[in-house]
Structure 1
Amino acid sequence: MFLNHSREVLRLLTSLQADLLILEENELLFFNYFFSFLSSVLGLSITIWIWMLNKKQNRRKDRIYKQLSGTNALLIIWVILMIISRFGSILPIVLFGTPGYDNHLNLYEEYWILFVLIPIVVFMQSWFTVRLVYQAGRWIFSTFLLCMLTAFVLQLTTTVSQEKLNLAYHQRFERDYNYIDQEIRIAKEKYGIDYSEQTVEILKKQVTESSVKQVESVKKAFFGDRPVTLDTIILQKIIIRNYKEGGRYYYKRNAIENWRYALPIDILKQLSYFDQNAKETKELLEVLKEMIDLVNTPEIHWQEYQNFTETERRRSLGARYNIPDPLIEQLKKVQTRLLEDDLYSDFFKNLQAIKDRE
């Protein structure tokens, strides 16, 4: 129970700065059995230590061996607990909880044999010195069966469901996920675009390496001198709406390079590639609309944070600190130019004016 609850606490820590570490079903089952078998054989080691406390032996050598057996049992317990606690805490805090982590170290797929060998080593090491005093062949076989049975019982009775923490984490980004699912469904029904499960999964991540690369690749697609595909335009709209920040900022606050998304002038250039009634034109105008909405996001004071969702708070902070002034000026110029164009004036006349930063 301690190991299972500790796993959930450490998973919670990964969500403080990175995406929550969520285990696959087969991976979760594997580690549940590992904790169960490890607990069972560690319990056997404690039992052997208690057995070996009885020093009533005629030969002095046997008494020494019994003391050695008890010491060895305690040693294997504390060494294994030290290893498990050290790796189990350092990896979630330092690696799994670091922004950018994207399953670079998969213990289940790459090092599964290690987790099979640890309980076996503990079991064999616990009996190793006992055999110097007793003929323990029958007892070794009996305790092996008892450890197996105990492990299966522990797995059924002490397992902690990860769904409670997963649900709490998903509720933080419920608005993001609902919008993504809605746009993906509309894209399929309206335009026949079928995004892969991997693309949608990455779209729902926050700061993993694949999520950052997705934001960067979508922005890069607008730089070229050729039309952008409709599926990329819709992805850009979703990314802006959910304000996916991606990587770190490497420039000064007002540097336009800090803008993670397509520039307004690039969208204006893309509009020239498509007909007025084209579906790409409609979605490009929606991207501009999302930019204006993001720039106009009202500031949320910290006293009122509890009244807003995670997305609303993130957009508010982004609009206040991470939108460069040159981007706002460029967006104003593009909006003015499109308002003067009869082809697009009807779309923009109902939009809010772009607010200046205070």
Structure 2
Amino acid sequence: MNKPYFKKDKISIQNIGKQRFWFGVIAGLISAFTLSLIFNRMRETIRFISGVSVDLVILKEDEFLFFNYFFAALASSLGFSITIWVWMRSKIYQRKKYKRYKEQAKTQALFFFWTILFLTAQLSYLLLFVALAGVSSFDLPIDLYQDHWLLFVLTPLVIFLQNWFSVRLIYKSGLWIFYSLCISAILTFILYYTTTVNQNEINSIYFKNNKNAYEYIEKETQKAKKNYRIEFSENTIEILKQWNTNSATEQVRSLQQDFNKKESVNLKTILLEKISIHNYKYYNKYRYYNERNPFINWPYAFPKDILNQLNYFDINSNETKELFEILKELIILANKSKLEVKTPESTSYFNREKYNSEYKVNIEVIKELKEVCDSLKKIKKYAHLSKTLPEVKLNKTQ
């Protein structure tokens, strides 16, 4: 038995209505441009906040290009949903069957439009919350670009095709799908070139704020390559430029453990420790004062461990020279930092949080540092190097 055949007209401006057709096109274009601007500005806002609170998320060129095109394509497909919604509001067809199909088309167009916007807003809120909470996006367990790039390619395409699927229940689409796909592709390129925000605008501000730290890293890595023939990997240098990621804190913690071992450390480790101290890369195990262990918040090599390391090397070795440079950096850090003492019991919760978040050097660490420096000055073979060490100041206002 043959299935009943319902004749459908070809989709045309006449069947949609000339005024409604152009109104839908204009509404779709305005929506696409507006959404593309919002997507790009929101991304840069989240990056800016992450740079203020933790570490700035800096996308690689290919990754940045990919997501720029994704946002443009997504905005274009969502704008097309608005166009379809406007077109399907035409009342030319009065038959009950076509009314249902048109209601279905309008509902699906708005459903995809608001669902995607809702999911995008939720993801933006999550990333914003993560940035404000002090968790760097470098530490997220997934790589959206490397592991899930296909999802970003299919999302705009599925939205576009789903809109046409609903329309084809009412009209014969003919070449309109092909024409609209070409127009959407052209619009994607236009959106990319007109609404994309250059990430270098925020990057330059972040780099300017960390200019001294980055220049010091560059100077020391070049010095290590020239004088000691030591080369640091790109990943190591990238981690050196981070402060709050898991990789950065693990690097600082690992360096401290290497100095604490009963064996000599290599020159590369010594240089990394010097850079970490100079740039105040802080590994904070606990955010409170511990009377039983006053050294618990100290993230770097302990002064006595540095003294022990000096016993492994010759007086004229590069290692000895750089170990004294570490001591010099520790003294500079100690002299310019606040003393860490027990928080008064009367301190309110909020003031206590502020107290614990400030960078301080425990008084016991400073005392140990002074003892080490004084002992080195008494050793004849270190007399020349000891003269390069600044005086450790203990008379700070607590």
- Normalising by structure 1, report the TM-score: 0.89
Match of 1:187 in 2: 224
Q: Unaligned 5+ residue runs, structure 1? A: 300-316
Partner Cα distance (2:262, 2:100) in 1: 83
Partner Cα distance (1:120, 1:349) in 2: 70
8 Å Cα contact 2:46-2:127 kept in structure 1: no
1:178-216 Cα deviation digits (max 9, x unpaired): 111111111111111111111111111111111111111
1:64 aligns with 2:103: no
**Alignment of structure 1 residues 165-204 onto 2, 5 Å:** 165-204=202-241
Match of 1:48 in 2: 84
8 Å Cα contact 2:298-2:362 kept in structure 1: yes
| Change beyond 3 A, Cα 1:3–1:85 | same
Match of 2:391 in 1: 353
8 Å Cα contact 1:294-1:319 kept in structure 2: no
Amino acid of the residue matched to residue 302 of structure 2? Answer: L
1:304-334 Cα deviation digits (max 9, x unpaired): xxxxxxxxxxxxx999752111111111111
Match of 1:241 in 2: 278
Amino acid of the residue matched to residue 82 of structure 1? Answer: F
Partner Cα distance (1:11, 1:221) in 2: 34
SS of residue matched to 1:323: strand
Match of 2:364 in 1: 326
Match of 2:192 in 1: 155
| Change beyond 3 A, Cα 1:298–1:244 | closer
8 Å Cα contact 1:219-1:260 kept in structure 2: yes
Pick from 308, 320, 327: which aligns with 1:269?
Answer: 308
| Change beyond 3 A, Cα 1:256–1:298 | closer
1:261-283 Cα deviation digits (max 9, x unpaired): 11111111111111111111111
1:59-106 Cα deviation digits (max 9, x unpaired): 132233223322221222111111122113313432796435435221
SS of residue matched to 1:137: coil
Match of 1:290 in 2: 329
Largest Rg, 1 or 2: 2
Aligned length: 341
Match of 1:125 in 2: 162
Amino acid of the residue matched to residue 30 of structure 1? Answer: F
8 Å Cα contact 1:32-1:159 kept in structure 2: yes
Pick from 302, 322, 335: which aligns with 2:373?
Answer: 335
Partner Cα distance (2:211, 2:283) in 1: 19
Partner Cα distance (1:319, 1:292) in 2: 21
| Change beyond 3 A, Cα 1:223–1:197 | same
Q: Unaligned 5+ residue runs, structure 2? A: 1-36, 339-354
8 Å Cα contact 2:328-2:389 kept in structure 1: yes
1:6 aligns with 2:48: no
Identity of aligned residues (%): 42
Give the C-alpha shift of residue 242 in structure 1: 0.9
8 Å Cα contact 2:328-2:390 kept in structure 1: no
